[in-house]
Chains A and B, each alone.
Chain A
Amino acid sequence: MLTAVLVLTVVLPAVGALAVSGLRPRAVRATAVLVATATAILGVWTVTLAYPAAHRVALGGLPWLSGAAGQGVFGLLLDPLGSVLLLIVVVIGLLTVLYSTASVGEANRDHPVGPEDQRRYYFWLLAFVASMAGVAIAPNFLQLLVFWELTTLCSWALISFYRNDQSLRAGMKALVMTHAGGVFFLVAVFVLFVRTGSFEFSALASLSEGARVWVFAFLMLASWAKAAQVPFHTWLPDAMAAPTPISAYLHAAAMVKAGVYLMARSVSAGWAMPPEVAYVCGALALVTILVALSFYFVQDDLKRLLAYSTIAHLGYVLLGVALGGLGSMEGFRGGVLHIICHGASKALLFFCAGAVAYATGTRSIAALRGLGRRMPLTATAFFVGVLAVTGIPPFACFWSKFMLFAGALQFGGAIGPILLVVLLGETLVAFSWMLYVGQQVFFGAPSPAAAAGADPPLAMRATLVLLMAATLVAPAAGLPLVGLIGR
């Protein structure tokens, strides 16, 4: 039963993608929403069914791969960590599709999209959902690698969706940089298989000390590139050339989250992360947080600002994961919880930025003033998003950041308190700037660009309202799941 539902969660959006590409333009949207809704229901259902245990099935092997120690090479695994990812993948996937039905169309002032392009759009989007779901329920590194590269492919196609010079370039950049990371992933998997004869996550623990350092270092490189961490952070802001719902999905649930998920998976499989790698990972995560913060103040494009914020928050997740690798359970749980909390908040912020661009045709912070009067719902949602993403209680990221702070402090010696102070400082500065931007854009006397402002169509409004609720619900859904993760 559970197995069938799980398989369906991946297969359904994939089939939906194929179906959509053959439909008449008019039926495309309805089909896409239908498929995404069914996927979301299936995904949430499996998570509740599997809770609190982990569900693992072997489905088949490769006959010629004789070394694979008697276990199936392909299969399914749904444990609390995968559940966290699966939840945001399917739920935010549904919301993205719902939002796109209104936002990706001819009425969009920022980028009108004709009906003939919609098939392509929904094909890739549903394929994206399918491959991300595949990442979430992959039982071993090999299968994870396959779906991982599929997400790279989908994001390449979606980032380049408008097919203008800028977006083609950005798509290529994203593809090259993340795929370069993917090569390291491939090497890591290869070394793992040669040394242990297995692709299992748990095989990491049985590697020899020396090999483990290298495998972890390669996995870390792969996840950095995917999660846009310093020094590979430059592709993500450029990827803002994508349609806004795609940016939202890319940042909140897909692609970059696959990067941090890989690291979380590697660390939690056997808790065998070598401390030196963990230190490097944590240190670079901290550097990423600060570097990304430093880019906040020079952004004029709302979406680029949000992109840098995503980079910083992925740094938080990786920091938590690194803390977990060094023995702080609270930090690891906080990091994983941050995946879901940040997902809800960042999706909300991107959808708001999309609503602003949809109505006014611009995303320039300097050009937008006093939008709140004409777009009250969007303004409310944006402020909720800002408060949620910067960790103001009772909204989402407060809970995950709080656990991260606790995890940081669990570190003995001087590092813990210093880490805590740095994180608190970043939180304050990021919050101040986001609040400032929110006030600039939505308060004040309306600017000419804001004159055209109006709250977006129903489907987009509904998405915003649902996500506002999600910023409150996300920690409640995530806390029981991350509570199960442990040694």
Chain B
Amino acid sequence: MSHVFLLGLAGALLLGGAIVSLALARHRILSGWLAFGAATAAGVAVFAVVVDTFRAGAGQETVLLRLPVLGAAWTVLVDPLSAFFLAIAAAICVLSALFSVHYMAHFERDSVARFYPVLLVFLASVVGVLVTTDFLFFLVFWELMTLTSFFLVTFESESRTTQRAGRKYFIVTHAATLGLIAGALVLWQTSGSFHFGAMRDALATLLGTRPLVGNLVILLFLLGFATKAGVLPMGDWLPDAHPVAPSGMSAVLSGALVKIGIYGLLRVFCGFVPVAGPVAGWGIVLALAGTGSLFVAMPTALAQTDSKRLMAFSTVGQIGYICLGLGVGLYCLPDRPALAALALMGALFHTANHACFKACLFLGAGAVLYRTGERNMDKLGGLGGAMPVTASSSMLASLSIAGVPPLNGFASKWLILATCLLAGMTAPLFLVLGIVGLFISLVTLASFLKVVGAVFLGQPSEDPRVREVPWTMAAPQAVLAALCVLLGVFPQVPLRLAHAALASAVQIDLPSSQALIGGPWTLAPSIGGLSVAFWAPLTIAAALVVLSALAYGLQRSAAARVRRVDVWTCGEPHGPSAVRYPATSLFVPFKDAFHGIYPAVPARAPAFPPALRKALDLDRWLFMPAARAVDRAAHGVGLTHAGIPQLYLLWIVVAAAVVVAIVLLAS
């Protein structure tokens, strides 16, 4: 079956599912199951395309619709880069839909008619964005994705914060889209077409003839996609929008939506910007933006007490790592393709990894929210015993995101930081960036230890409502956590896919994946015969297992008695909530040191000058006075009509005299 047919099938399933779930929105659970079913069916179709693309390479480009007036045509092509992101987006959306089935039931006042149908259209638009190769239609799907995600974020209709955050998200990203439109139009002016290929050629031409304009276009693309990806400062919408969205949607936002921004960056910087041109310079820009983003966002994350807001900031930080990887890769692309490929693969791998662990963490936070109604970590604690699946999934995901070996976060960060430091051998700037990245890795670990510690560990909670969430909510977390482990232990598999994706996107030949990835069980890249960034996850995993077993055995054999007693102070027993160490109290000196790193700039609309307002009110000083003047003049003329016949005779005589005078004078 052709790719287009399968994608069309997926689209039809999603839209059909949207209609059916809308019609049945009164039945919350049923509507959710229908949406999940439609998403899964569509996901299967999409995965068929993904698998086929990775096996057989990019398919044939198909023209679905032509708009000769604009020189645009809706062309569809799935290449490995699209396939890589399709896989991530579809997987995350399907798992989130499953999670939402029961989760959405706890919003009693808002109808799910505003959730499931929109979610399915959102997924359809994401697929559209990823497979379209014409920029006009790309923009159509891109904004469709934005607007559907806006309605998903603002699901809680009565909360002012939610509405405000959603509005901010939509406006900021729409501004970015307008930038994309401007950039695309400048290129269209050169080429007369919106096709990706034509735009690439147009950009190359433009960079040759008018380099300033060409680089401006690149900047517009960078801003447009980086805003969606959540790179600071444009990504300021992200920490507001993530916490207020329903948790399933937060996972989709972090796991799929911001990744589409990364896709856009890769498309533009690998596919459009000529390698011989300014790509290295833009690599530095991206690396700096990424590092700045992670340097600001992670300490800010550490200071949060709202679990979902913490995770949102950490998304900004992790996107920063991805951008750092992209930047290193682009910088090295012209001269050192092997190093560039490794860095880009690391970035792409980190994209997939981040989707797994961040989605898992948001779903975990959602599960806690579902049971306790609480996002404030100061008021949570000791949930681990009652919610074992949630707790262990979140724990694994937290270790992953912090880059603890042998989990997946380590593998990708290792590649990014190693290549960054290697690039730093010749360009010391990258050395600095790499060291910042390493340091922030530690902050990541601290932040997520805080989450795990404050929410799940400590004395068991006394809250009677707390128990494990339904399996529909637990299963997606477990799957994502398992993925974190699997991708960490077998990084070669995703890296091979990332290599294929990059090979299809960049405009030069990359070294073979065999040379870049190395052995079947270890990661042994070699550049010019030199082994770099070696990593043997299985060995480490085995060592960890052995050591854990040893430790457990030691404890058992020593038969140390564990004594559990209540906490006493001043002669009184205190409940666990009273003596718990709150999240706010963690890392206080560190937080003080980084205080104010993320300044809050209040946005206020400028006041409209009253003088200008008056000047613009034409009625007031132009039309009404004019009308009154006419009225008065008419009144004046009316005075001559006094109703006295003698007076009228007089007028006639006067008029006759005037006429005679004129005639005489004229002759």
Q: Identify the A interface with B (CB < 8 A).
A: 176-177, 230-231, 233-234, 291, 294-295, 297-298, 330, 333, 370, 372-373, 376, 383, 387, 392-394, 398, 402-403, 405-406, 409-410, 420-421, 424, 427-428, 431-432, 435-436, 439, 442-445, 479, 482-483
* Binding site secondary structure of chain A: helix
- A234 engages B608 (CB within 8 Å): no
Residues of B within 8 A of A176 (CB): 627
Q: List 20 A-B contacts (CB under 8 A).
A: A177-B623, A233-B618, A234-B618, A234-B619, A295-B616, A370-B157, A376-B111, A392-B146, A392-B174, A393-B144, A394-B144, A406-B185, A424-B178, A424-B182, A428-B175, A435-B167, A442-B157, A443-B158, A444-B157, A479-B69
Q: List 17 extra interface pairs beyond A420-B182, A439-B166, CB under 8 A.
A: A230-B618, A233-B618, A294-B616, A297-B608, A370-B157, A370-B158, A392-B143, A393-B144, A406-B188, A421-B182, A432-B167, A435-B170, A435-B171, A443-B154, A443-B163, A444-B160, A445-B158
A230 CB → nearest B CB, Å: 8
Interface membership of B44, Cβ < 8 A:
no
Residues of B within 8 A of A424 (CB): 178-179, 181-182
What separation, in Å, do the CA atoms of A350 and B113 have in the docked complex?
24
- B163 engages A428 (CB within 8 Å): no
Given A231-B618, A394-B140, A410-B189: A298 in contact with B613 (beta carbons within 8 A): yes
- A483 engages B616 (CB within 8 Å): no
A82 CB → nearest B CB, Å: 18
Residues of A within 8 A of B188 (CB): 406
A191 CB → nearest B CB, Å: 25
Given A231-B622, A443-B154: A431 in contact with B171 (beta carbons within 8 A): yes
What separation, in Å, do the CA atoms of A427 and B181 have in the docked complex?
12
Residues of A within 8 A of B418 (CB): none
CB within 8 Å of A: which B166-202 residues: 166-167, 170-171, 174-175, 178-179, 181-182, 185-186, 188-189
Residues of A within 8 A of B70 (CB): 330, 402-403, 406
Residues of A within 8 A of B182 (CB): 405, 420-421, 424
Residues of B within 8 A of A445 (CB): 158
A70 CB → nearest B CB, Å: 37
- A439 engages B67 (CB within 8 Å): no
* Most A Cβ at <10 Å: residue of B69, B151, B154, B181: B69
Interface membership of B634, Cβ < 8 A:
no
- B157 engages A298 (CB within 8 Å): no
Given A234-B619, A295-B616: A482 in contact with B69 (beta carbons within 8 A): yes
Residues of B within 8 A of A482 (CB): 69
Residues of A within 8 A of B605 (CB): 297
What separation, in Å, do the CA atoms of A202 and B189 have in the docked complex?
31
Within 8 Å by CB of A409, from B113, B163, B186, lies B186
Residues of A within 8 A of B616 (CB): 291, 294-295
- A372 engages B147 (CB within 8 Å): no
CB within 8 Å of A: which B578-635 residues: 605, 608, 612-613, 616, 618-619, 622-623, 627
- B608 engages A294 (CB within 8 Å): yes
Contact indicator per residue, chain B 341-354, by CB within 8 Å of chain A (1) or not (0): 00000000000000
Interface membership of B68, Cβ < 8 A:
yes
Contact indicator per residue, chain B 130-148, by CB within 8 Å of chain A (1) or not (0): 0000001001101110110
What separation, in Å, do the CA atoms of A443 and B157 have in the docked complex?
5
Given A373-B157, A479-B67: A402 in contact with B136 (beta carbons within 8 A): yes
What separation, in Å, do the CA atoms of A439 and B156 have in the docked complex?
12
B490 CB → nearest A CB, Å: 41
Residues of A within 8 A of B622 (CB): 231
The 3 closest A-B pairs by CB, nearest first: A393-B140, A483-B69, A393-B143
What separation, in Å, do the CA atoms of A409 and B182 have in the docked complex?
9
Residues of A within 8 A of B170 (CB): 435
- A234 engages B144 (CB within 8 Å): no
B82 CB → nearest A CB, Å: 20
Residues of A within 8 A of B142 (CB): 393
- A444 engages B158 (CB within 8 Å): yes
- A436 engages B174 (CB within 8 Å): no
- A439 engages B154 (CB within 8 Å): yes
Within 8 Å by CB of B178, from A383, A427, A435, A483, lies A427
B66 CB → nearest A CB, Å: 11
What separation, in Å, do the CA atoms of A267 and B185 have in the docked complex?
25
What separation, in Å, do the CA atoms of A266 and B94 have in the docked complex?
56
Residues of B within 8 A of A420 (CB): 182, 185
- B163 engages A444 (CB within 8 Å): yes
- A432 engages B171 (CB within 8 Å): yes
What separation, in Å, do the CA atoms of A405 and B181 have in the docked complex?
9
Residues of B within 8 A of A428 (CB): 171, 174-175, 178
